[in-house]
Amino acid sequence: MEGVPRWFWLGSRREVERALAAAFGSPPEAEAAGTAGPGDLVLVDAAAAPADCGSVPAGHAFAAVRALKERAGVAVAVVVDAGDRIGEQLARFCLADGVVRWRGPAAGLDLGEFRPGHAAHPKPSVDALLERVQADVAAHGHTGSAVARLLQFEREDSLLTRLQDPATGLFDGPYATLKLDEEWKRAMRFHQPLSLLLLDLGDAEPARAATDRQRLLADAAGVFLNECRDIDVLARFAPGTFLFLLPGTGPEGAAVVARRMLGALRQRFTGQGVRPCCGLASAPSSQIPDRKAFLCVAAANLARAQAGEGDGGLCTSWQ
Protein backbone atom coordinates (compact mmCIF):
# COMPACT_ATOMS: atom_id res chain seq x y z
CA MET A 1 0.00 0.00 0.00
CA GLU A 2 1.68 3.14 -1.22
CA GLY A 3 2.80 5.44 1.59
CA VAL A 4 1.86 2.94 4.32
CA PRO A 5 4.49 0.17 4.54
CA ARG A 6 3.02 -1.29 7.74
CA TRP A 7 -0.47 -1.51 9.25
CA PHE A 8 -1.65 -2.41 12.73
CA TRP A 9 -5.01 -3.59 14.07
CA LEU A 10 -6.74 -2.78 17.37
CA GLY A 11 -9.89 -4.87 17.62
CA SER A 12 -11.30 -8.33 18.28
CA ARG A 13 -13.66 -8.82 15.30
CA ARG A 14 -11.79 -11.48 13.34
CA GLU A 15 -14.00 -11.21 10.27
CA VAL A 16 -13.07 -7.53 9.95
CA GLU A 17 -9.37 -8.29 10.48
CA ARG A 18 -9.50 -10.98 7.77
CA ALA A 19 -11.21 -8.59 5.35
CA LEU A 20 -8.56 -5.94 6.02
CA ALA A 21 -5.76 -8.46 5.50
CA ALA A 22 -7.29 -9.50 2.17
CA ALA A 23 -7.64 -5.87 1.07
CA PHE A 24 -4.09 -4.89 2.05
CA GLY A 25 -2.53 -8.13 0.83
CA SER A 26 -0.86 -8.91 4.14
CA PRO A 27 -1.80 -9.55 7.79
CA PRO A 28 -1.42 -6.80 10.39
CA GLU A 29 1.92 -6.33 12.08
CA ALA A 30 2.55 -8.75 14.91
CA GLU A 31 4.09 -5.96 16.98
CA ALA A 32 1.93 -3.93 19.34
CA ALA A 33 0.25 -0.88 17.81
CA GLY A 34 2.05 1.22 20.40
CA THR A 35 5.22 0.72 18.35
CA ALA A 36 3.74 2.37 15.22
CA GLY A 37 5.87 5.15 13.81
CA PRO A 38 5.90 7.70 10.99
CA GLY A 39 4.32 6.36 7.81
CA ASP A 40 2.45 3.54 9.56
CA LEU A 41 -1.31 3.06 9.60
CA VAL A 42 -3.28 1.92 12.66
CA LEU A 43 -6.88 0.75 12.20
CA VAL A 44 -8.99 0.94 15.35
CA ASP A 45 -12.30 -0.90 15.59
CA ALA A 46 -14.97 1.43 17.03
CA ALA A 47 -16.30 -1.65 18.86
CA ALA A 48 -12.91 -2.40 20.46
CA ALA A 49 -12.93 -3.07 24.20
CA PRO A 50 -10.23 -1.69 26.53
CA ALA A 51 -8.53 -5.10 26.48
CA ASP A 52 -8.20 -4.86 22.68
CA CYS A 53 -6.18 -1.65 22.92
CA GLY A 54 -3.09 -3.55 24.05
CA SER A 55 -0.07 -1.30 24.47
CA VAL A 56 -2.09 1.85 23.81
CA PRO A 57 -3.22 3.26 27.18
CA ALA A 58 -6.93 3.90 26.69
CA GLY A 59 -10.27 3.19 28.30
CA HIS A 60 -12.13 2.85 24.99
CA ALA A 61 -11.54 2.84 21.23
CA PHE A 62 -11.80 6.60 20.69
CA ALA A 63 -9.41 7.35 23.54
CA ALA A 64 -6.98 5.00 21.77
CA VAL A 65 -7.38 7.07 18.60
CA ARG A 66 -6.51 10.24 20.46
CA ALA A 67 -3.49 8.61 22.11
CA LEU A 68 -2.21 7.32 18.77
CA LYS A 69 -2.66 10.73 17.12
CA GLU A 70 -0.14 12.14 19.57
CA ARG A 71 2.51 10.18 17.64
CA ALA A 72 3.90 12.26 14.81
CA GLY A 73 3.40 10.79 11.36
CA VAL A 74 1.08 7.91 12.38
CA ALA A 75 -2.13 7.63 10.35
CA VAL A 76 -5.17 6.41 12.30
CA ALA A 77 -8.42 5.16 10.77
CA VAL A 78 -11.52 4.05 12.67
CA VAL A 79 -13.50 1.02 11.48
CA VAL A 80 -17.21 1.73 11.94
CA ASP A 81 -20.29 -0.24 10.98
CA ALA A 82 -21.98 1.17 7.88
CA GLY A 83 -24.68 3.60 8.94
CA ASP A 84 -23.09 4.34 12.32
CA ARG A 85 -23.21 8.14 12.09
CA ILE A 86 -22.30 8.64 15.74
CA GLY A 87 -19.19 6.52 15.32
CA GLU A 88 -18.12 8.62 12.34
CA GLN A 89 -18.72 11.84 14.27
CA LEU A 90 -16.68 10.58 17.22
CA ALA A 91 -13.88 9.52 14.87
CA ARG A 92 -13.70 13.04 13.42
CA PHE A 93 -13.91 14.56 16.89
CA CYS A 94 -10.98 12.44 18.07
CA LEU A 95 -8.93 13.67 15.08
CA ALA A 96 -8.84 10.34 13.21
CA ASP A 97 -7.55 10.65 9.66
CA GLY A 98 -10.66 8.97 8.29
CA VAL A 99 -13.04 6.02 8.61
CA VAL A 100 -13.27 2.56 7.11
CA ARG A 101 -16.85 1.29 6.87
CA TRP A 102 -17.69 -2.34 7.62
CA ARG A 103 -20.76 -3.39 5.61
CA GLY A 104 -20.97 -6.95 6.90
CA PRO A 105 -19.47 -10.28 5.77
CA ALA A 106 -21.34 -10.24 2.47
CA ALA A 107 -20.59 -6.67 1.34
CA GLY A 108 -17.21 -6.35 3.03
CA LEU A 109 -15.27 -3.12 3.56
CA ASP A 110 -15.43 0.38 2.17
CA LEU A 111 -11.82 1.47 2.65
CA GLY A 112 -12.33 4.98 1.28
CA GLU A 113 -9.03 6.86 1.10
CA PHE A 114 -7.20 3.96 2.77
CA ARG A 115 -7.68 1.52 -0.12
CA PRO A 116 -4.52 -0.12 -1.51
CA GLY A 117 -2.70 1.95 -4.07
CA HIS A 118 -3.56 5.24 -2.40
CA ALA A 119 -1.61 7.14 0.22
CA ALA A 120 -3.08 7.36 3.70
CA HIS A 121 -3.23 11.15 3.40
CA PRO A 122 -4.33 11.99 -0.16
CA LYS A 123 -3.37 15.59 -0.73
CA PRO A 124 -4.08 16.91 -4.23
CA SER A 125 -1.64 19.42 -5.61
CA VAL A 126 -2.60 23.08 -5.67
CA ASP A 127 -2.85 22.94 -9.46
CA ALA A 128 -5.18 19.93 -9.35
CA LEU A 129 -7.32 21.59 -6.69
CA LEU A 130 -7.58 24.81 -8.71
CA GLU A 131 -8.53 22.86 -11.83
CA ARG A 132 -11.24 21.01 -9.89
CA VAL A 133 -12.72 24.20 -8.47
CA GLN A 134 -12.49 25.95 -11.86
CA ALA A 135 -14.38 23.07 -13.47
CA ASP A 136 -17.06 23.34 -10.76
CA VAL A 137 -17.35 27.07 -11.37
CA ALA A 138 -17.72 26.60 -15.11
CA ALA A 139 -20.23 23.76 -14.72
CA HIS A 140 -22.50 25.95 -12.61
CA GLY A 141 -22.20 28.99 -14.86
CA HIS A 142 -20.35 31.11 -12.32
CA THR A 143 -17.81 33.72 -13.29
CA GLY A 144 -14.64 34.65 -11.46
CA SER A 145 -11.35 32.94 -10.86
CA ALA A 146 -10.82 29.69 -9.02
CA VAL A 147 -8.66 31.53 -6.51
CA ALA A 148 -11.53 33.85 -5.64
CA ARG A 149 -13.80 30.82 -5.23
CA LEU A 150 -11.30 29.16 -2.90
CA LEU A 151 -11.07 32.31 -0.81
CA GLN A 152 -14.86 32.26 -0.50
CA PHE A 153 -14.70 28.66 0.77
CA GLU A 154 -11.98 29.68 3.22
CA ARG A 155 -14.14 32.49 4.58
CA GLU A 156 -17.13 30.16 4.98
CA ASP A 157 -15.00 27.62 6.83
CA SER A 158 -13.65 30.33 9.11
CA LEU A 159 -17.21 31.38 9.93
CA LEU A 160 -18.13 27.83 10.90
CA THR A 161 -14.97 27.52 12.97
CA ARG A 162 -15.83 30.68 14.89
CA LEU A 163 -19.08 29.05 16.04
CA GLN A 164 -17.19 26.21 17.71
CA ASP A 165 -15.46 25.96 21.04
CA PRO A 166 -11.85 25.08 20.12
CA ALA A 167 -11.27 22.95 23.22
CA THR A 168 -14.18 20.55 22.63
CA GLY A 169 -15.41 20.95 19.05
CA LEU A 170 -18.91 21.64 20.39
CA PHE A 171 -20.74 24.92 19.77
CA ASP A 172 -19.69 27.91 21.83
CA GLY A 173 -21.78 29.94 24.30
CA PRO A 174 -22.87 32.81 22.01
CA TYR A 175 -24.10 30.40 19.32
CA ALA A 176 -25.90 28.34 21.96
CA THR A 177 -27.76 31.50 23.00
CA LEU A 178 -28.91 32.03 19.41
CA LYS A 179 -30.04 28.41 19.15
CA LEU A 180 -31.90 28.73 22.44
CA ASP A 181 -33.93 31.60 20.98
CA GLU A 182 -34.57 29.66 17.76
CA GLU A 183 -35.61 26.40 19.45
CA TRP A 184 -37.78 28.25 21.98
CA LYS A 185 -39.73 30.00 19.22
CA ARG A 186 -40.14 26.75 17.28
CA ALA A 187 -41.37 24.85 20.35
CA MET A 188 -43.90 27.55 21.23
CA ARG A 189 -45.14 27.90 17.68
CA PHE A 190 -45.73 24.18 17.13
CA HIS A 191 -46.67 23.36 20.75
CA GLN A 192 -43.80 20.91 21.11
CA PRO A 193 -41.89 20.10 24.32
CA LEU A 194 -38.37 21.45 24.73
CA SER A 195 -35.89 20.67 27.50
CA LEU A 196 -32.77 22.50 28.57
CA LEU A 197 -29.92 20.93 30.54
CA LEU A 198 -27.07 22.81 32.18
CA LEU A 199 -24.36 20.36 33.22
CA ASP A 200 -21.29 21.33 35.23
CA LEU A 201 -18.30 19.00 35.41
CA GLY A 202 -17.67 19.91 39.05
CA ASP A 203 -13.91 19.81 38.56
CA ALA A 204 -12.33 19.87 42.01
CA GLU A 205 -8.94 20.61 40.45
CA PRO A 206 -9.41 23.79 38.38
CA ALA A 207 -5.65 24.37 38.28
CA ARG A 208 -4.97 21.24 36.21
CA ALA A 209 -2.14 21.38 33.69
CA ALA A 210 -3.26 22.62 30.29
CA THR A 211 -2.83 19.21 28.66
CA ASP A 212 -4.78 17.46 31.42
CA ARG A 213 -7.54 20.06 31.19
CA GLN A 214 -7.73 19.63 27.42
CA ARG A 215 -7.94 15.85 27.77
CA LEU A 216 -10.69 16.14 30.39
CA LEU A 217 -12.78 18.43 28.19
CA ALA A 218 -12.28 16.25 25.12
CA ASP A 219 -13.30 13.11 27.03
CA ALA A 220 -16.39 14.85 28.41
CA ALA A 221 -17.39 16.05 24.93
CA GLY A 222 -17.00 12.49 23.67
CA VAL A 223 -19.45 11.30 26.35
CA PHE A 224 -21.96 13.98 25.36
CA LEU A 225 -21.75 13.16 21.65
CA ASN A 226 -22.27 9.50 22.43
CA GLU A 227 -25.36 10.08 24.58
CA CYS A 228 -27.16 12.79 22.56
CA ARG A 229 -29.04 12.74 19.27
CA ASP A 230 -28.18 14.48 16.01
CA ILE A 231 -31.00 17.01 16.51
CA ASP A 232 -29.83 18.02 19.99
CA VAL A 233 -27.76 21.19 20.43
CA LEU A 234 -24.54 20.65 22.41
CA ALA A 235 -22.49 23.63 23.53
CA ARG A 236 -19.79 24.61 25.98
CA PHE A 237 -21.62 27.41 27.76
CA ALA A 238 -18.92 28.37 30.29
CA PRO A 239 -15.43 27.04 31.14
CA GLY A 240 -16.75 24.00 33.00
CA THR A 241 -20.46 24.15 32.13
CA PHE A 242 -22.23 22.65 29.12
CA LEU A 243 -25.66 23.47 27.68
CA PHE A 244 -27.91 20.95 25.96
CA LEU A 245 -31.12 21.74 24.08
CA LEU A 246 -33.34 18.69 23.55
CA PRO A 247 -36.12 19.43 21.02
CA GLY A 248 -39.27 17.33 21.30
CA THR A 249 -38.23 16.06 24.73
CA GLY A 250 -40.26 16.47 27.90
CA PRO A 251 -38.97 16.46 31.50
CA GLU A 252 -39.04 12.67 31.94
CA GLY A 253 -37.04 11.98 28.78
CA ALA A 254 -34.61 14.79 29.53
CA ALA A 255 -34.03 13.42 33.04
CA VAL A 256 -33.17 10.03 31.55
CA VAL A 257 -30.60 11.65 29.23
CA ALA A 258 -29.15 13.70 32.10
CA ARG A 259 -28.75 10.71 34.41
CA ARG A 260 -27.17 8.71 31.60
CA MET A 261 -24.60 11.45 30.96
CA LEU A 262 -23.88 11.92 34.66
CA GLY A 263 -23.35 8.19 35.11
CA ALA A 264 -21.05 7.98 32.08
CA LEU A 265 -19.01 10.95 33.31
CA ARG A 266 -18.60 9.50 36.80
CA GLN A 267 -17.48 6.19 35.34
CA ARG A 268 -15.09 7.86 32.92
CA PHE A 269 -13.49 10.16 35.53
CA THR A 270 -13.38 7.84 38.54
CA GLY A 271 -10.78 9.08 41.01
CA GLN A 272 -10.02 12.25 39.04
CA GLY A 273 -11.77 14.80 41.24
CA VAL A 274 -14.70 15.34 38.88
CA ARG A 275 -18.18 15.54 40.44
CA PRO A 276 -20.66 16.41 37.67
CA CYS A 277 -24.13 17.76 38.38
CA CYS A 278 -27.00 18.98 36.25
CA GLY A 279 -29.98 21.33 36.29
CA LEU A 280 -33.06 20.73 34.12
CA ALA A 281 -35.82 22.98 32.79
CA SER A 282 -38.66 21.90 30.49
CA ALA A 283 -41.30 23.77 28.54
CA PRO A 284 -44.15 24.33 28.12
CA SER A 285 -44.65 25.28 31.76
CA SER A 286 -46.83 27.85 33.49
CA GLN A 287 -43.76 28.85 35.50
CA ILE A 288 -41.66 29.62 32.42
CA PRO A 289 -43.12 32.50 30.39
CA ASP A 290 -40.15 33.16 28.08
CA ARG A 291 -36.74 31.88 27.03
CA LYS A 292 -34.92 34.01 29.63
CA ALA A 293 -36.92 32.39 32.41
CA PHE A 294 -36.26 29.04 30.72
CA LEU A 295 -32.51 29.54 31.10
CA CYS A 296 -32.86 30.99 34.61
CA VAL A 297 -34.80 27.95 35.84
CA ALA A 298 -32.14 25.60 34.48
CA ALA A 299 -29.42 27.73 36.12
CA ALA A 300 -31.29 27.74 39.44
CA ASN A 301 -31.65 23.97 39.32
CA LEU A 302 -27.95 23.61 38.53
CA ALA A 303 -27.10 25.77 41.55
CA ARG A 304 -29.28 23.55 43.74
CA ALA A 305 -27.62 20.42 42.34
CA GLN A 306 -24.19 21.93 43.07
CA ALA A 307 -25.36 22.51 46.66
CA GLY A 308 -26.15 18.82 47.01
CA GLU A 309 -29.90 18.94 46.43
CA GLY A 310 -31.85 16.87 43.94
CA ASP A 311 -31.45 13.21 43.03
CA GLY A 312 -28.02 11.82 42.15
CA GLY A 313 -26.61 15.14 41.02
CA LEU A 314 -29.71 16.08 39.01
CA CYS A 315 -32.14 18.79 40.15
CA THR A 316 -35.42 19.31 38.28
CA SER A 317 -37.28 21.62 40.69
CA TRP A 318 -36.15 25.15 41.46
CA GLN A 319 -38.69 25.97 44.17
Q: What is the CATH number of the domain that holds 36?
A: 3.40.50.2300
Does 224 share its domain with 147?
A: no
Indicate whether 95 pLDDT > 90.
Answer: no
Task: Express as a percent the part of the chain with pLDDT over 90.
Answer: 36
Does 179 share its domain with 290?
A: yes
The boundaries of the domain holding residue 249 are 171-315
Q: Where are the alpha helices (DSSP H) in 109-243?
A: 126-139, 146-162, 173-190, 210-227
Got the DSSP string for 270-283? TTTTB--EEEEEEE
* pLDDT for the residue 48: 81
On whether residue 267 sits in a domain, the answer given is yes
Does 198 share its domain with 146?
A: no
Indicate whether 125 pLDDT > 60.
Answer: no
Does 79 share its domain with 155?
A: no
- In total, how many domains does the chain have? 3
- Please state the rounded mean pLDDT for residues 171-185: 88
Q: How confident is the model at residue 134 (pLDDT cuts 50, 70, 90)?
A: low
C-alpha–C-alpha distance, residues 268 and 27, integer Å: 33
User: Kindly report the CA angle at 79 between 48 and 128, in degrees rounded to 5?
Assistant: 150
pTM score > 0.75 for this model? no
On whether residue 120 sits in a domain, the answer given is no
* pLDDT for the residue 319: 55
More confident residue, 205 or 4: 205
Q: What are phi and psi of 40, to 5 degrees?
A: -90, 160
Does 142 share its domain with 21?
A: no
More confident residue, 157 or 241: 241
Task: Tell me how long the chain is.
Answer: 319
Query: Kind of pairing, strands 277-283 and 233-238?
Result: unpaired
